Structure 1
Amino acid sequence: MAYAFEDSLIPPEAEIGFDIGIPDTWTQYDLSADGIAELRGQLLQAAGADADAEQMSRLNEVFSTMATIAQDSRSSGLLSAAGTLERYEDGFFMATVCVMSFREPPGHELDPIKLLDYIHPPSSTADEGTWLRKTVVELPESGADLCGRMYGVADYKLDQATGEAFRAVLMHTAFRVPGLDKRVVVSCSSPNVELQDEILQLFDAITGTAWFWKRLPQNTG
């Protein structure tokens, strides 16, 4: 999922970009309104006519959450997203990875660890079975310095009035973009909380493929 940043500080002939590897079987999503509608059709088709009521309820819940998050993310710097939906005899496995970009406020340094504090309110870990940890990770192959990371299991509030929530395994990793006053967050999530240890290992492996690249102007003199 490659992306080239647009910034007035980058010379027209140069580029600074970001890329991250996703598994070959995953799909890059179109998170426009039309893309979301098409994705819903794909999810329902994948479920099949013999899916039981519990599976369909969970699938509808997943789709509703994805649509809500996509709408929020498009206005919050979403660059790209990809994911997978696999059906097994005992249910579904679903996971997504989103890449978002944030610009530092003028005159302020946006610390990667502090940036993560804004992603989940305290209420997201208020109930039993939820937990989040924050740490610093070294990903030298990315080209960035020390990165901030938040991971665990949290509730995403779908309706503040009713308290309806969606629980997911999460891993957010925040990077400083080398050479620009921007931050990139790689946000991974899955509703399969019963597999949280294996999923966190998968998210760590995917995030470990992230890297920043730079193409400088060619010297034609």
Structure 2
Amino acid sequence: MTTGSHRFGIGIPENWTEYDLHGDTLAERRAEMLRHAPRKETRDAVNQAFRSARRIMDGARRRGAVYAAGTTTMYEDGLLMAGLMIFSVSPPAGADFSARGLAREFSAAGGHRREGTSRTLTTQTLPGVGPVGRMAGIEETEIADGVSSRLVVTHTFVPVPGGERVLVITCFSPNIPLAEPLYDLFDAITSTFAFGDAEPKAQAEAQAEAEAVVEGGA
């Protein structure tokens, strides 16, 4: 994957799918799940989940998304839906490019906080990058014009080396009751992010942790 002249990589669990941003992969995955959903209530849940996913993808593409991946997996206890998108954006002129500075900048740029939104600002260290800013919490997010949903989210802000752009790694899920294991999962996946073509050892270790969270979180 590339942004400008810089290549980057990120590891996702084996049961996640990389999506093209026009939604063709989503349609294939939806058809596959419906073939294995004998009950009407299950089919309704699958259809609703994929309608929401398609709205999210359409909105993300308009906002500068350069990468998308996710999972829609049926477990005995219900449907787990989670996703990741990477956006390439330009901060305002003169923005503070420090870890906390970028997180504050984008937090302020979000404008009025919707009712039901609760986020925490922290600084994290990505093994392949260094210190980065992160916002995490529950967001009331507009996923399409006039359509909003409550999501578990993390936004991680990664400066592109030698440039004026920032990559925003956004992980999200509507499975609010699973918030705590989802934060662990999102942290594990985001920790695999690195610029360049090589996959450092830290990526493989974080990938294994992400898969363990997926297996135990639902």
Normalised by the shorter chain, which TM-score bucket? 0.7 to 0.9
Gaps of 5+ in 2: 199-218
Structure whose CA Rg is larger: 1
**Aligned equivalent of 1:29:** 19
CA deviation profile, 1:76-122 (whole Å, cap 9, x unmatched): 221111111211122111111111111345x4336421124445741
Equivalent position SS for 2:67: strand
**Aligned equivalent of 2:31:** 41
Q: 1:192 aligns with which of 168, 175, 199?
A: 175
Instruction: After TM superposition, list the pairs within 5 Å mapping 1:107-126 onto structure 2.
Output: 107-109=93-95, 111=97, 112-113=102-103, 114-119=105-110, 121-123=112-114, 126=115
Which residue type is aligned with residue 143 of structure 1?
V
**Aligned equivalent of 1:13:** none
* Aligned 8 A contact 1:116 1:172 in 2: no
Which residue type is aligned with residue 63 of structure 2?
S
Q: 1:155 aligns with which of 126, 140, 143?
A: 140
Q: 1:97 aligns with which of 84, 92, 100?
A: 84
**Aligned equivalent of 2:192:** 209
CA RMSD across the alignment:
2.6
> How many residues end up aligned between the 2 structures?
193
Structure 1 residues 119, 208: closer, same or farther in 2, change over 3 A? Answer: farther
Equivalent position SS for 1:150: strand
Whose helix proportion is higher, 1 or 2?
2
Gaps of 5+ in 1: 8-15, 216-221
Equivalent position SS for 2:14: coil
4+ residue runs of structure 1 moved beyond 3 angstroms? 33-40, 42-46, 55-61, 116-121, 157-161
* Aligned 8 A contact 1:20 1:209 in 2: yes
The Cα shift of 1:4 comes to 2.1
**Aligned equivalent of 2:59:** 72
Structure 1 residues 120, 191: closer, same or farther in 2, change over 3 A? Answer: farther
* Aligned 8 A contact 2:59 2:143 in 1: no
Cα separation, 2, equivalents of 1:24 and 1:93: 15
Cα separation, 2, equivalents of 1:195 and 1:51: 25
* Aligned 8 A contact 2:30 2:46 in 1: no
The Cα shift of 1:214 comes to 7.5
Percent identity, please.
31
**Aligned equivalent of 1:137:** 124
Higher mean C-alpha displacement, 18-27 vs 37-46: 37-46
